[in-house]
Homo-oligomer: A and B are copies of this chain.
Amino acid sequence: MLNHHESVGKWISTIHRYSMIYKSRSFIAYGIGAGQLGFLSVLYQKDGISQDELAQKLNMDKTTTARAVQKLEEMGFVKRRPGEQDRRINLVFLSQKALDIQPHIKSTMQAWTEILVQGFTEDERDLLLKMLKKISGNAVDHIRKLEKDDTQ
């Protein structure tokens, strides 16, 4: 039992750290940090969403999201525009520069996933994703509950 306790977090943390190293190495030429990459990925799937929706999709807080979007805007990868119906909402749009590098980002990230799951069968990959999604849900639910308790 004890080994289980100690290891889940350790391996997750190691995988995360090496993913950051890989991303930083891969995109340093574009000036994109590993931290901004997730935001671009979400926008490639759905362009023109609000900052709040962006934060939600990545399970990120609003401050971190605002900072990352600002950095991406400074580098010319996104543009922010107020919503037409509600001008208090910031909508985030990809620039042509961002669209131009999309194929490269996609293939680089796919290559990394292939490296990570090397030696896994298709069934094992499915199971892995199911497990990671469940763990992630457990983690998010617990922290949300703690944060809710804080404000009560």
Task: Report A's interface with B, CB cutoff 8 A.
Answer: 2-19, 21-22, 25, 38, 41, 58-60, 109-110, 112-120, 124-125, 127-129, 131-136, 138-140, 142-143, 146
Q: How far is A118 from B142 in the complex, measured between Cα atoms in Å?
A: 11
B109 close to A11 (CB less than 8 A): no
Beyond the given A14-B58, A115-B142, A128-B135, please list 4 additional residue pairs across the A-B interface where CB-CB is below 8 A.
Answer: A12-B19, A13-B16, A17-B59, A116-B139
Q: Which B residues are CB-close (under 8 A) to A109?
A: 5-6, 9
- What's the least CB distance linking A52 to chain B, in Å? 17
Q: Which B residues are CB-close (under 8 A) to A2?
A: 110
Oligomeric state, in copies: 2
Q: Which B residues are CB-close (under 8 A) to A17?
A: 59-60
Q: How far is A134 from B114 in the complex, measured between Cα atoms in Å?
A: 13
Q: How far is A140 from B16 in the complex, measured between Cα atoms in Å?
A: 11
Q: How far is A9 from B2 in the complex, measured between Cα atoms in Å?
A: 26
Q: Which B residues are CB-close (under 8 A) to A110?
A: 2, 5
Q: How far is A117 from B134 in the complex, measured between Cα atoms in Å?
A: 8
10 closest A-B pairs by CB? A11-B132, A18-B139, A16-B16, A5-B110, A5-B113, A14-B136, A11-B136, A115-B142, A118-B138, A116-B135
- What's the least CB distance linking A104 to chain B, in Å? 14
Partner of A12, one of B4, B10, B60, B132: B132
Q: How far is A127 from B127 in the complex, measured between Cα atoms in Å?
A: 10
